[in-house]
Amino acid sequence: MYKANVLVTNIRVGLMRKVLIVEAKKFPDNAVDGWHNQYDWGGVETQLSLNMNRARRQFGNVQTMYGMVTVGDMVRFYYMSMNTPVGILRPFTLPAGGNTVTLSVHTNRNEIHDILIAIEREISTYQNRY
């Protein structure tokens, strides 16, 4: 049983596998400009990691998985390499897109779109085997 907000599956090795898991949370109470710089992302990242590791245990570790955390209007992307025995979340950024980890749906929508396209390409071309 998963409590993730969104689960995306694909078919690998003849079975449906979880490949992208999204955890979404509402704005923190009394959010002010720059709230995301002081926000404790650890709780929602831990929840994402638990769900991704649960999917790996249940369906097998046959591909690199991706995760997306949204809190209010801010987004972070992660990946969990299939080559790590204990799944560790790492930030997923574009090679040429800079090192921005926390993205705004208002000001970084093009980068968010590009990251989603990059993830989709890795999955659909079977390049998510790292």
| pLDDT at 45 exceeding the cut of 90 | yes
Return all residues near 98 (Cβ < 8 A) that are at least 6 apart. Answer: 111
Mean pLDDT of 19-47: 86
Contact present, 82 and 64 (Cβ < 8 Å): yes
Query: Taking the model in full, what pTM does it have?
Result: 0.86
Q: Angle 33-35-39 (CA atoms, 0-180°, nearest 5)? A: 175
pLDDT surpasses 80 at 12:
no
Domain ranges of the chain: 6-124
Q: Average pLDDT in the 72-77 region?
A: 94
Q: Are 115 and 97 in contact (CB under 8 A)?
A: yes
